[in-house]
Structure 1
């Protein structure tokens, strides 16, 4: 039984669930803001001068895609939090936090520090942690796992893109 269903019947559980959604949203937004702060100055500077692979999406794609993905990340974490208490939920929530940390670190490493190789290590760890989170979330709430599947796909693509940027700009 998931507390998400009970939250509709109990005002105190509904308030707690709403507060949890706000926390997951704030944490996801914090990662997004940290990434944007690291990225903004670099996009018009050194990044523009890098050689890029032909499959690099247009610059205007990244903002909308990441906005949707951060929303899905937040809702997925919230759904897991609403799942039954226990080891599976705790593991999934821990992995949710880990992937968000790797997520926030990537922009800082890549754009802020201009460390393409370090960012490649980070995005590889990010891909693995998102995959592990998806698998753990699936044991708690299948919808939560489905919500992060596009994120996993995008991060795997970002890994490939990062690798090609390293290769092309040695």
Structure 2
């Protein structure tokens, strides 16, 4: 039996990839969040769905999720020679770009319906990523389960925003009051 790397070498490779991927994923997530946020007057004027959590929750949850995602990707990146590693990393990169697009689409462009489609892409592509990660490292796929659950919740929340704010979702401006004097 030929051994390509010792357990210590594999751990060191994972550690190096983690030190690169975790901060990178967190940074890119943070940068996406800067392209639009909930402090806009447009968002503040929307009716909030009953499932809308306290705003402080979002920063905490996304930070934890990005850290888990970073470790998951590091597991795959450090799996040198594993069958399907390259395809899994490419699929993740395509998924991640789509996921990061949601914030600028929803908050920046104020396009709730398009943002829901972006989340649909994010959920479907994440399932594909998880299947590909599963083939390389099962634990890496399992680390993405909370992320998938949150993405599904985000899609449901986005849908609820559309349902409760149909005029804003269609891009219409609220009708202004007209005063008629005789």
TM-score by length of 2: 0.81
- What count of residue pairs does the alignment treat as equivalent? 165
Partner of 1:79: 75
The one-character-per-residue Cα deviations of 1:55-99 (angstroms, maximum 9, x if unpaired) are: 111111111100000000000000011224254111111121112
Partner of 2:6: 6
Q: Deviation above 3 Å: which 4+ runs of structure 1? A: 16-19
Task: Mark the runs of 5 or more structure 2 residues left unpaired by the alignment.
Answer: 167-182
Partner of 2:175: none
1:1-170 equivalences in 2 (<5 Å): 6=6, 8-9=8-9, 14=12, 17-40=14-37, 42-170=38-166
Secondary structure at 1:70 match in 2: helix
The structural deviation recorded for 1:30 is 3.0
Select between 26-35 and 158-167 the one with higher mean Cα deviation: 26-35
C-alpha distance in 2, partners of 1:115/1:87? Answer: 40
Task: Mark the runs of 5 or more structure 1 residues left unpaired by the alignment.
Answer: none
The structural deviation recorded for 1:17 is 4.2
Contact kept? 1:21, 1:78, Cα under 8 Å? yes
The structural deviation recorded for 1:21 is 2.2
C-alpha distance in 1, partners of 2:88/2:67? Answer: 18
The one-character-per-residue Cα deviations of 1:9-53 (angstroms, maximum 9, x if unpaired) are: 48xx83x5444223322431232122221234x424211111121
Structure number with higher helix proportion: 1
Structure of larger gyration radius: 2
